[in-house]
């Protein structure tokens, strides 16, 4: 392994002694489904919403665990809640349509 050439022989030996490869693990799809199920149960939400929470969490982790944070190391509870919360207003369809006639008799045109 060429990547280990920068290590001393002693450190290479330490690395190899600690290296443990487990091949009988779940697939990525199975892990995703397990996480969705656990999020759904933990928060009492539908699996569809749990999938959205997982996507948001995954996206946020990619920022929180890299240098994209511009030097900010601490992640606050409020920041986590902000990233994982459900939008307060869900738009369903187009609600800006004008009704075909006035709803109230006192308001005819």
**Predicted local distance difference test score (pLDDT) of residue 18:** 93
**Predicted local distance difference test score (pLDDT) of residue 63:** 84
pLDDT category at 84 given cuts 50, 70, 90 is confident
Backbone phi, then psi, for 74, in 5-degree steps?
Answer: -80, 135
Residue indicated by tokens 């511009």: 70
Question: Which tops the pLDDT comparison, 97 or 23?
Answer: 23
d(CA 78, CA 21): 37
pLDDT tens-digit series, residues 34-54: 999 999 999 898 999 899 999
């Amino acid at each position: 392994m060429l990547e280990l050439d920068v290590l001393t022989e002693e450190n290479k030996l330490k690395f190899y002694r600690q290296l443990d490869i487990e091949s009988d693990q779940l697939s990525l799809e199975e892990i995703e489904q397990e996480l969705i199920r656990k999020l759904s149960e933990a928060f009492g939400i539908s699996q569809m919403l749990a999938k959205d929470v997982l996507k948001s969490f995954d996206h946020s982790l990619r920022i929180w665990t890299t240098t994209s944070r511009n030097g900010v190391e601490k992640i606050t509870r409020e920041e986590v809640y902000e990233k994982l919360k459900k939008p307060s207003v869900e738009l369903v369809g187009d609600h800006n349509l004008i009704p075909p006639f006035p709803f109230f008799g006192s308001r005819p045109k």
